[in-house]
Each structure stands twice: as C-alpha cells, then as structure tokens.
Structure 1
C-alpha cells in the first residue's frame, strides 16, 4: 500500500505545476491581445479624426469659394458713379482673393498631408492587424502543442501507474496464494480440513 500513495502524490504534483504554467501563459496571451486591441482602437480614433478634419477643410474651402463668388458678383453690381470707391474696393478684393487663394493653396497642401497621413495610418493598422493575427495563430499553435504534450505526459503516467498496480497486484496474489497454502498445511497438520472451517 505505501508505494500506491507515493505514486499518487507525484502524479498530482506534475499536473498542478503544468496547469499553473499553462494559466500563466494564457494570462500573458490575453494581456498581449488586449494591448494589441487598445493600440488598434487608438489608431482607429486617429484615422477618424483625420477624416473629420479633412471634411471640415473641404467644407471651409467650399464656403470660401462661395464667398469669393458672392464678392465678385457684388463687385460687378457696383455702380459706375462710385468708380473711385469701386477701385478701392477692387484693390481690397484683389488682396482678399490673393489671401484666400493662398489659404486655399495651404488648405490643399494640408489636405494632401492629411491624406498621406491617413494612408500611413491605414498601412500601420494593416501591419498591426497582420502582426496580431500572426501572434494569435502562433499562440494557438503553441496551445495546441502544449495540449498534445500534456495529453502524452498524462497517458504515459497513467500507463506507468497501471503497470505498477499490475506488478503490485501480482505480488499480492503470489503472497496471498503462499499464505493460503501455508495455512492449509498447518491446518492439515492439526488434522483439520480447510474447506470445513
């Protein structure tokens, strides 16, 4: 009986240690996945902000172009009697048009930069997605391998335990047979039949 207890204790310790290692690796994997998801969420917010800014810039540009058209129309409608005032207004409008055109040019440049940044963000996001998928696949592969290894260890331990139990049972059967034979002989020396007792 003592060998059975020792074998059970050793087989219990190995799975507990393996389960702790597996849980630690699983927790690390969950943390890695959460970090990647947070990173992707931040990039998505950044892309949304860039898109919103681009829409606002386009709206401003259209508004400024409309203002420019209104100013030109007002300019044509000015009376010839106010030619001097017209010239002054024309000069002011010309300066304003130049400023607006310069601003439109700057806005177009900013739009190009925003589009480039958006493309970069998309590429980075796709890269992060690929890395995340590769990490998840790698972790899944490792989990599958660990599961196979643990099954193999468990089967080997169970097979060893069964063979040990078989050997112990054989010993007990042999010992039991020997004891019964000895008692039969002792009883027969005293003149007793073992089947009647």
Structure 2
C-alpha cells in the first residue's frame, strides 16, 4: 500500500511538475506573444505615419507636376500665338514687297516701252531719210 501511495504521490508530484512546467511555458509564450504584438503595433503605427507622409509627398508632387504642365501649356500657347502673328506679319511683308516689285516692274516696263518706241521711231526716220521703207525690211 505504501508503495502505491508513494507511486500516487510521485504521480501527483509529476503532474504538478508537468502542470507547473506547462503553466510556465504558457506564461512565457503569452509574454513573447504580447511583446510581439506590441512590436507589431509599433511597426504598424510607424508604417501608418510613413504612409501619411508619403501620401502628402505624392499630393505635393502631383500639384507640382500639374503646375509645371500648366506652365508648359501656357508657354506653348504663347509661342503658338507669337508664331501665328509672325506668320501674318511675314505674309503682309511678302505681299507688300511683291506689290512694290510689281509696281516697279510696271514702271520699268513703261519706261522700256517708251524708249523702245522712241528708238523704233528714230530708226524709221533714219530709214526714211535713206529712202527705205521700214515695213519692207
């Protein structure tokens, strides 16, 4: 009987030891898990802060890109307007130059025709003085 009591005592002691060990392991795991949760919560908090900063940076970059694009568009429109005005001005200059040239050619032509007529008249008179008919030649 004693032997059995001793075995029973031993088993109870073993059970208490196992129970105690399991409790200790449980508490250790619970502490580790709690620490890990706290660490992950801190990391999540930091990542959220970084995300907010990154989103703000992204908004700033988008605004800056839109501003630069608007400036480029305004510059292109301004240059296109200047180009159109230059084209109109050059067209006016070309028309004025061509009109002036046409006018000068017309005046020169009249002068040549007058000289030519005078020259022909002189030659006719010379031919007639020699007794020749200009139409026969």
- TM class by shorter chain equals 0.7 to 0.9
Cα distance in 2 for partners of 1:90, 1:194 equals: 136
Does residue 140 of the first structure (1) align with residue 89 of the second (2)?
Answer: no
**TM-score normalised by structure 2 residue count:** 0.80
1:97-118 Cα distance to aligned partner (Å, 9 max, x none)? 1111100000000111111111
Structure 2 alignment gaps of length 5 or more: 1-17
1:113-142 Cα distance to aligned partner (Å, 9 max, x none)? 111111111111111221111111111111
**TM-score normalised by structure 1 residue count:** 0.57
Q: 1:178 aligns with which of 107, 118, 125?
A: 118
Kindly report structure 1 stretches of 4+ aligned residues shifted beyond 2 Å: none
Number of residue pairs aligned between Structure 1 and Structure 2: 118
Find the counterpart in structure 2 of residue 66 from structure 1.
Answer: none
Give 3-state SS (helix, strand or coil) of 1:176's partner: helix
Which protein has greater RCO, CA pairs closer than 8 Å, 6+ apart?
1
Cα distance in 2 for partners of 1:167, 1:133 equals: 50
C-alpha RMSD of the superposition: 1.4
Does residue 122 of the first structure (1) align with residue 65 of the second (2)?
Answer: no
Cα deviation, residue 154, structure 1: 1.1
Cα distance in 2 for partners of 1:117, 1:171 equals: 79
Q: 1:166 aligns with which of 89, 93, 106?
A: 106
Structure 1 alignment gaps of length 5 or more: 1-79
Task: Indicate the structure (1 or 2) with the bigger Cα radius of gyration.
Answer: 2
Does residue 89 of the first structure (1) align with residue 53 of the second (2)?
Answer: no
Find the counterpart in structure 1 of residue 133 from structure 2.
Answer: 193
